[in-house]
Amino acid sequence: MKITKELLMKLYYIFGVGGSLVIGFLLLYFDKLHYHFAFQYIPGFFAICGFVFCSILILGAKLLGIWLVRPVDYYEKRRRQ
Amino acid sequence: MGDWIHPGVLIMLGAFLVPFLGNRKVKQVYLILLPSAGLVILLLTSMGFFGAIPAFPGALHKWRIPFLHYTLELGRIDKMSMIFAYVYVVIGIAMLIFALREKNDWEHVSALIHIGSSVSAIFARDLFTYIFFVEIATWSAVFLIWFRGTKTSKASGFRYFLWHVVAGGFLLAGSIMHVQTTGSIYLDLMPWGWGWPYLAYYFMMIGFLIDAGSFPVHSWLPDAYSTGGVTSVLYVTAFSTKTGIYGLVRCFPGVELLMWLGVVTAVVALFLAVLENDARRLCGYHIISQDGYMICGVGIGTYLGILGCVSHIISHIIYSCLLLMGASTVLSVTGTCKFTNTGGLYKYMRISFWLYLIGGFSISGMPYFNGFVSKSMTIEAAELIHQPIVYLLLEGATVGTFLHTAVKLPYNLWFQGRDEPPADIRVKLKDKPENTPINMLIGMTIPAFLCVYMGVYPYYPFYEMLPYPVDFVPYTITRVFSISQMFVFTFLAAWYLRTLIRGTPTYTLDSDWLGRVPGYALVSFCRGPLMAFGAFLDRSMLKVADVAITAVRNPGIALKMTPSAIGAGVTIIVVIFSLLAAILMKGI
C-alpha cells in the first residue's frame, strides 16, 4: 500500500486523536493518573488544552497582527524620512 | 595563580594564534583541538585532579588576584559553574565543526573569544570579573553579527551593542552600589525587597534581564540573531542569554517577580513567533520563550525550580544550537530562510531535516528528548508551589513551542505541500538527497545525539552534574500520556488552521519600536529643524560679527551706515560679550 497524505491523516485521526482519548478515559477510570490540581482530572483536559491553546495562539496572534504587522521595509522608510 | 589552568582564558588567548597558522588543514585541526583542550581541563577538574570539588554551594577557589583592596577570583569551581562550562565547551566544539569551512579567520577568532569569555564569566566569583568577561563576550558577539557583511547586520550589530552596553551599565552601577554598601564583591545571593535601599539590586536585575532576553527588553534578540552571519551567529545564540540567566540564578533565586516575568516572557514571545516569516527570527522568539521558562524557574526558587532552571539551560543550549544550525543549513545552501521563498526542500536536504526535527521535538518537550526532562521539572515545581495560573501558562507555552518548531518551521522550510523548491532555489541545489556539507551535518549530529541521550537516559551523567541531588523521575505514565495527548490535539488545531501559519512577506513590530521610532524622529529632528536653526544662528552671529568689526574699525561710518537702533544694539551686544569674556577669563 502506498503511503499517501490521506492515509497518514486517517491513521492520525484513528490512532492519534481517537486512541489518545480512549487511553485517557481508561487511564482515568483505572486511577493511573496522578495530578496536582483538580481541573487536571477533567476527562480530556490535556486534549482541550492542546486544541484551545493552539487555536488561541494562532487566532490571537493574527488579531495582534492587525497592529503589529508592517511592510518589510518599515524601518528603512522611517529611517529615510 | 595555582595549578589549575583556566579553560576560558586558555581558549581566549589561544584564539589569537588562528590567523598565524598558515595551512588550512592545520588551522581546522587547531580550531577543534583548542576547545577540546578546555574540555580535557574540565574533565580533569571533575576527576579531582586539582582538588576535590565539595558539595554545592561549596567550591574550589582558584586564580585569586589581589586588586586594590579586594581579591578578584577568576576560578570559582563548583557544580553550578562546572555544568555550565561543560555545555559551553561541548557546544562550542560542535559549532566550530559546523563552521569549519568558513574561510574568514577573524570569524573563528571572534568565536573562540566569545566561547572563552563566556566560560570565564561563568567561572568568575566576583562581580567585576563577571562584568569584565561579559563585556568581552558582547564585543566579540558584535563582530560575529557583523560578519554577515550586510547593511542590516551592521545596523542590528550596533543595536545589539547598545542594548548590552546599557545592560552592562546597569549591572556595573548596581554592583558598585552593592559593593559600597555591603563591602562584598561576590556574585552570590543578593538581598531583595521593595524600596530605595534595594535600588542597587533593581539595577543589577535589569542588567541581567536585558542580557537574558526577558520581556519587555527582549527585542534585541530576534533582531540580532536573524541578521548575523550564517555560521557565526550560532555562537551568540547559545551563550549570551544563558550567561545573563546564570547571573540571575546566582543572585536572585526565589524572587516572585521573576516567576511572573518568566511566564509572561514564555507566552508573549510565542504570539510574536506566529507572525514571523524568517526561520531565524522564529528561532529567536523561541529562545526568548524558553528563557521565560528558566527565569520562571529562578523565580519559583525551590530546589526543584532551580534544578529545572539549570537543567533547562543545559538542554536549551543543546537543542537551540541544533535548531539554529538547521535554519543555517537552509540559509547557507539556498541563500534564504524566509518561509515565503522556501518549501519543497525535503527531496534535497533530508538528513538536515531529520536532525533539525530532533531539535524541534526536544524544544517542544516531547518524551524521550531532553527538553521533556528539564521542562517537566520546571512545570512540576510550579505545581508543587500551587500556582495553577503559572502552570497553565507554562503548558500553553509548551503547546506553542510544539506548534512552531515541530510543525510550522519544518513545514514551511522543507514542505509547504510541494515536491520541488521554487525555481530560483532549485538551480542552487545538486541532484542528490543531501546538499548540506558534511562538516555541518557532523556539527549537527553532536547536539542531536546529546538531545536524545539526555532524554532517554538523564540519570548519568546529566543528573550527576546538576548542583543539587535529584530524585525527580521524569517518565511517569501521567506525564508521558498528558503531554502526548496535548501534542496530538495541538497538531489537530494546527492542521485546521494551517493556512494561517504560512509565512507572509511582512515584518512584525516588537517592543523595540518604542526606542527605534522615537530615535529616528530624534535623528530627523536633529538633521532637519535643529540643523536649520544652527545654520541660522551661525549666519546671524557672522552678520553681528561683521557689523561689530566694522563698528570697531570705524565707529563713525558704521553709525552712519546702519540705522541708529541697530548700531546701538550691536554696541550693547559687543559690550555684553566683552564683559562676559572678561569675567570668564578671570574665572579661569
Q: Identify the pLDDT of residue A3.
A: 77
SS3 label, residue B360: helix
Residues A19 and A5 in one domain: yes
Give contacts of A61 with chain B, Cβ < 8 Å: 271-275
Give contacts of A47 with chain B, Cβ < 8 Å: 485-486, 488-489
Residues A11 and A48 in one domain: no
B150 reaches A (C-beta below 8 A)? no
Residues contacting residue B57 through CB under 8 Å, at least 6 positions apart? B78, B80, B467
With residue B159 as reference, give the H or E element that holds it: helix B151-182
Residues A16 and A43 in one domain: no
In this complex, which of B490, B507, B516 lies closest to A72 when CB atoms are compared? B507
B517 reaches A (C-beta below 8 A)? yes
ipTM of the modeled complex: 0.92
Our count of domains for chain A comes to: 2
Q: How far is B412 from chain A (nearest CA, A)?
A: 15
- Can you tell me the distance from the alpha carbon of B470 to that of B310, in angstroms, rounded to the nearest whole number? 12
Residues A29 and A41 in one domain: no
Give contacts of A69 with chain B, Cβ < 8 Å: 275, 504, 506-509
Contact across the interface for A71 and B507, Cβ inside 8 Å: yes
Closest CA to B440 of B282, B281, B333: B333
Q: Identify the pLDDT of residue B205.
A: 93
Confidence of residue A81 (pLDDT cuts 50, 70, 90): low
Residues contacting residue B329 through CB under 8 Å, at least 6 positions apart? B349, B352, B356, B436, B440, B444
Give contacts of A44 with chain B, Cβ < 8 Å: 485
Residues A57 and A81 in one domain: yes
Instruction: Using the structure block, give the residue that is written with the C-alpha cell 527565569.
Output: B295
**Which residues of chain A from 34 to 73 reach within 8 Å of chain B, CB to CB?**
34-37, 39-40, 44, 46-62, 64-65, 67-73
Contact across the interface for A50 and B388, Cβ inside 8 Å: no
Residues A41 and A28 in one domain: no
Domain that holds residue A76: 37-81
Contact across the interface for B477 and A33, Cβ inside 8 Å: yes
Contact across the interface for A17 and B507, Cβ inside 8 Å: no
Give contacts of B272 with chain A, Cβ < 8 Å: 61, 64, 68
Q: How far is A42 from chain B (nearest CA, A)?
A: 12
Residues A67 and A47 in one domain: yes
Q: Which residues pair with B363 in a beta bridge?
A: none
Closest CA to B434 of B329, B358, B322: B329
Residues A79 and A46 in one domain: yes
Residues A28 and A13 in one domain: yes
User: In chain A, what is the greatest distance between 2 CA atoms, to the nearest angstrom?
Assistant: 68
Give contacts of B219 with chain A, Cβ < 8 Å: none
pLDDT by residue, tens only, chain B of 588 residues: 458 899 999 999 999 998 888 788 899 999 999 999 999 999 999 988 888 888 878 888 888 888 888 889 898 999 899 999 999 999 999 999 999 888 888 899 999 999 999 999 999 999 999 999 999 999 999 999 998 888 888 988 999 999 999 999 999 999 999 999 998 889 988 999 898 889 999 999 999 999 998 988 998 999 898 888 888 888 988 888 999 999 999 999 989 999 999 999 999 999 998 888 888 889 999 999 999 999 999 999 889 999 999 999 999 999 999 999 999 999 888 888 888 888 888 888 889 999 999 999 999 989 999 999 999 999 999 999 998 999 999 999 999 999 888 888 888 888 887 888 888 888 888 888 888 889 899 999 999 999 999 999 988 888 888 888 888 888 988 899 899 999 999 999 988 888 888 878 888 888 888 888 888 888 888 988 999 999 988 888 888 788 778 777 877 766 666 566 666 677 777 888 888 888 888 776
Residues A63 and A79 in one domain: yes
From residue B374, how far is each of B169, B258, B293, B306, B484 by CA, in Å?
32, 18, 10, 11, 16
